[in-house]
Chains A and B, each alone.
Chain A
Amino acid sequence: MKEKMKKALLVAVAASAVAGYFSASQSTRRYIAHLAKQLPYLPYRYFI
């Protein structure tokens, strides 16, 4: 039951993120997309 709740919550968060992204202005979408591309590098940048 707990696992199912967790999954449902994750799906809800992901769905609202996607919905938020597509309902945002083109400017905000560009901004988010630009930053999202750099997410994988952040942990390393923090330590350089």
Chain B
Amino acid sequence: MSDYDAIVIGAGLGGLSAASILAKNGFKTLICENTSWVGGCCSSMDYDGYTFDIGASIVELSFVIDNLFAKLGRKTSDYIDFIPVDPIYGFVTEDGQKFSYPVSIEGTREVIAKLSPEDAEAWDRFAKVGSEAINLAFGQVMAESMMSFTDAIKSTLSNPKLAKYLPYMVKNFESVLCSFFKNDKIRASMSLQSYFIGLPPALCPGYVAFLAYSEHEGIFYPRGGMIQIPKGIARAFEEFGGEIKFNTRVKKVLVEGGQAIGVELEDGTQIRSRLVVSNVNAKTLYLDMIGRENLPGWAVRTMENFPLSIPAPMIMLGLDTKPDLEAHHTFCYSTLEKMNSIWFDDYLNNRIPVAGFMLISWPSHADPSLAPAGHHCLNLVSFCPYELADSDWNKMREPYLEASLDAMEEKFHLNLRDHITVAKLHTPYDLENILLLPRGAVYGLQNDLFCTAMFRPRMKSRVIKNLYLSGASVHLGGGVPTTIGSGIVAGGIIEKDFG
């Protein structure tokens, strides 16, 4: 006898999205969440009067969130108050030049024309192709499970325009950018998005390059911090009768005769269900929670060999002044080669990038309520290895914080040391301990071409019956719209199987 129809492990965006669809469709659904809050990598924490985001910092492709609420028969605006963000990015180049890209396509063209006149026309072409690629092709792929070649063929046949953009899936991000833009500063300014899926421009699939366009269709920040997105979905879930147990760590997925039949909690409690949805990292799910004893040898080896994504340590600063910045995000790398060197020279050699952190996020610019009156909060984001060649993150906590503050002064010309009221650092160890991200992998498994779509763990497990997956480990990888999309698709598959 089952206690629930569905148990969802983890209240991250994918798990919440799948759970809310199931609850809406009458499934008695329980979410077991390890922490005392919702959202996983899309969340916020309160420290000394400041609200700091602890992962995702902005929302793009917001139509995915609207799709979820539409499926629930609800309106996004009744649950989340999105603030439009403009400009999108500010840049500080090595020679001290500052510029920013507004949301407006024409406004961005003007900025590009000043920096590199020949690239202004290239921007027009890039925006045109990007608009088609995102709206006519890849938008559809995001709403499909892509679990097999059959799914891919069906998707292409139902939307022949997708075939036109397939070359962008085969090329790398860097080649796509270089095929449009000539000036290295412009190329670099469009390259940050490759790290949004945790890869350098040389290894990132080419279609991701069009994220640099998609942001011009509008980017948003939820009033009250990024946690308001999962909170909004959780509210809808609870309205449909769904239940969330916080501070509840799942130790095992119960398997009987090759079938998931519930979960065992850390305290030994067993809860039975007709099906289990996992929103935790797929390596953790298969190797630890399912257990090697319940998997065929080839499945164990496959999961062991899946590469994890790069960790993104984050520094959270509370300030008693307004920082001299122009945009929600400010970025400081000035060539594609330097973007690649973070991976090839530093990450692969277990070194903290010598050039320091790369991105400042300034959420209190969009929403002043995140800090006390007159104060602001910043997040400094970088990409670093989990293992360090000459040290470890416990020893590097203070030196890393100090080096990052130095870099903030040198590269961003921000002299804010005397104005810092709160300074917190989440190292890869913290990400692993707090959010249960193995080795701090914020984007789940690596997101390259051979870990994408049907080469990523399936949303409907083939090796364990009645086990479903959502979140950053499945198609389409880490990110706010992508993980919500995974939950929508997983919920749809379960509806078909059990509805």
Chain A neighbourhood of B178, CB < 8 A = 27
B454 and A46 contacting across the interface, CB-CB below 8 Å: yes
A40 to B457, CA, bound (A): 16
Q: Beyond A34-B448, A48-B463, is A25–B306 a contact (Cβ under 8 Å)?
A: no
**Quick check: B301 and A31 within 8 Å, CB to CB?**
no
**Bound-state Cα–Cα, A38 to B307, Å:** 10
Q: Are A27 and B450 in contact (CB under 8 A)?
A: no
| Pairwise interchain contact A42-B172, C-beta atoms closer than 8 A | no
A42 and B450 contact, Cβ closer than 8 Å, known pairs A31-B203, A48-B458: yes
Chain A residues 1 to 48 lying within 8 A of chain B, measured CB to CB, are 25-28, 30-31, 34-35, 38-39, 41-42, 44-48
Q: A48, B451: Cβ atoms under 8 Å?
A: no
Contact partners of A38 in chain B: CB under 8 A: 307, 448, 450-451
Q: Is the CB of A48 within 8 A of B203?
A: no
A48/B462 in contact, CB under 8 A: yes
How far, in angstroms, from A48 to B450 measured CA to CA in the complex? 14
Do B175 and A25 touch (CB < 8 A)? yes
Contact for A30 among B202, B301, B461, B463, CB less than 8 A: B202
Q: Is the interface of B mostly helix, strand, loop or mixed?
A: helix
Chain B residues within an 8 Å CB radius of A27:
172, 174-175, 178, 201-202, 336, 340
Establish whether residues A30 and B450, one from each chain, have CB atoms under 8 Å apart when the complex forms: no
Q: Within 8 Å of chain A (Cβ to Cβ): is B411?
A: no
B-chain residues with CB within 8 Å of residue A42 when the two chains form the complex: 450, 455
The CA of A5 and the CA of B457, in the complex, are separated in Å by 41
Q: Which of B202, B302, B458 contacts A41 (CB 8 A)?
A: B302
Complex alpha-carbon distance, A41 and B175, angstroms: 25
A45 engages B174 (CB within 8 Å): no
Kindly report which residue of chain A lies nearest to residue B303, judged by CB atoms. Answer: A48
Assess the B303–A34 pair: CB atoms within 8 A: no
Determine how close the nearest CB of chain B comes to the CB of A20; give it in whole angstroms: 14
A27 CB → nearest B CB, Å: 4
Which residues of A sit under 8 angstroms from B169, Cβ to Cβ? none
Q: Inside 8 A of A31's CB, which chain B residues have their CB?
A: 172, 174-175, 202-203
Contacts of B416 in A (CB 8 A): none
Q: Give how many A-B residue pairs fall within 8 Å (CB-CB).
A: 66
Residues in B neighbouring A39, C-beta threshold 8 A: 450
Indicate if the CB atoms of B299 and A48 lie closer than 8 Å. Answer: yes
Residues 429-472 (chain B) with a chain A CB within 8 angstroms? 448-451, 454-458, 461-463
Q: State whether the Cβ of B344 lies closer than 8 Å to any Cβ in chain A.
A: yes
Provide the bound-state CA to CA distance between A45 and B473, in Å. Answer: 12
Shortest Cβ distance from residue B329 to the other chain A in the assembled complex, whole angstroms: 25
Q: Distance in Å from the Cβ of B331 to the closest Cβ of chain A?
A: 20
Q: Are B306 and A30 in contact (CB under 8 A)?
A: no
CA distance in complex: A43, B448 (Å): 16
* B204 nearest CB neighbor, chain A only: A31
Which chain A residues border B457 with CB–CB below 8 Å? 45, 48
CB distance from A7 to the nearest CB of B (A): 29
A44 and B175 contacting across the interface, CB-CB below 8 Å:
no
Beta-carbon contact of B448 and A44 below 8 Å: no
- Contacts A27-B172, A28-B175: A44 and B202 contacting too (C-beta < 8 A)? no
Task: Find the residue from A31, A34, A44 having the highest chain B CB count within 10 A.
Answer: A31
* Contacts A30-B203, A30-B344 given; does A44 touch B302 at CB 8 Å: yes
Contact (Cβ within 8 A) A45 B175: no
Min CB–CB distance A41 → chain B (angstroms): 5
Q: Which of chain A's residues have a CB closer than 8 A to the CB of B340?
A: 27, 30
Q: How far is the CA of A28 from the CA of B457 in the complex (A)?
A: 26
* C-alpha gap A30/B231 in the complex (Å): 41
- Does any Cβ of A come within 8 Å of B498's Cβ? no
Q: Which 10 A-B pairs have the closest CB atoms?
A: A44-B302, A31-B172, A38-B450, A45-B455, A27-B174, A30-B202, A27-B202, A34-B203, A48-B302, A41-B305
Interface on B for A, CB 8 Å cutoff? 148, 172, 174-175, 178, 201-203, 286, 298-299, 301-303, 305-307, 336, 340, 344, 448-451, 454-458, 461-463
User: Could you show 6 A-B contacts with beta carbons less than 8 Å apart?
Assistant: A30-B202, A31-B174, A41-B305, A41-B306, A45-B457, A47-B302
Q: A27-B175, A38-B307, A45-B302 are in contact. List 16 more A-B contacts (CB 8 A).
A: A25-B175, A27-B172, A27-B178, A27-B201, A31-B202, A31-B203, A34-B203, A38-B451, A41-B305, A42-B450, A44-B299, A45-B451, A45-B455, A46-B148, A47-B302, A48-B461
